[in-house]
């Protein structure tokens, strides 16, 4: 009950200040990468498999699991190393010029999660940087605090 009261207090505070925040801990974002979608998808799949372990180096670069991948849609999970919260990850791949447009989404399975210390953003960001896609020609990332919980305060190297 106490968690619910705290959550409602946070929401009320942010709404009163006029901040737009997602109603649940989650992150929507879009990337444009300068490689074809098949290559981009395979790089992310390889990174998930590389980080499918329980030992973390820096950040939360471990405990990823691939659920499915069919070159257009990827589904996975990430378990946080400290508290073991489970987040669902999905990515959709669409050809865009000579590159690929990727829509990423991560959401907490914890029903009462509202603020997440940027965890859902980092779930996605770490895969893109780990796979090296952020170094691809014409890389661009688009999101905001309104659609990605605590995006502007993200520190994906913590823990």
Cα dihedral value 13, 7, 64, 92, nearest 10: -60
pTM value is 0.84
pLDDT at 101 (0 to 100): 98
Q: Mean pLDDT score of the chain, rounded to an integer? A: 87
**131: enclosing H helix or E strand:** helix 119-131
Residue 113, pLDDT score: 82
Q: What percent of the chain has pLDDT over 90?
A: 66
Query: Tokens for 8?
Result: 């409602």
The mean per-residue pLDDT over the stretch 72-84 comes to 93
* In the predicted structure, residue 96 carries a pLDDT above the cut 50: yes
Phi, psi angles (nearest 5°) of residue 114: -120, -55
Give the separation between CA 129 and CA 25, rounded to whole angstroms. Answer: 22
Q: Which pair of tokens denotes residue 133? A: 């896609």
Question: Which domains are delineated in the chain?
Answer: 2-153 (3.30.530.20)
Do residues 48 and 65 lie in contact, with contact meaning Cβ atoms separated by under 8 Å? yes
């Amino acid at each position: 009950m106490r968690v619910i009261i705290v959550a409602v207090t946070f929401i009320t505070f942010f709404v009163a200040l006029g901040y737009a925040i997602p109603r649940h801990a989650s992150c929507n974002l879009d990337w444009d990468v300068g490689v074809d979608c098949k290559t981009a998808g395979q790089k992310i799949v390889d990174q998930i498999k590389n980080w499918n372990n329980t030992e973390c180096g820096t950040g939360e670069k471990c405990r990823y699991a691939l659920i499915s991948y069919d070159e257009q849609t990827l589904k996975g999970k990430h378990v946080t190393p400290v508290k073991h919260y489970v987040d669902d990850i999905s990515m959709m791949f669409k050809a865009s010029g000579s590159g690929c447009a990727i829509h990423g989404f991560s959401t907490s399975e914890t029903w009462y999660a509202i603020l997440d210390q940027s965890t859902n953003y980092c779930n996605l960001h770490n895969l893109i940087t780990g796979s090296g896609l952020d170094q691809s020609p014409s890389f661009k990332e688009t999101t905001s605090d309104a659609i990605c919980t605590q995006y502007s305060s993200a520190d994906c190297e913590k823990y």
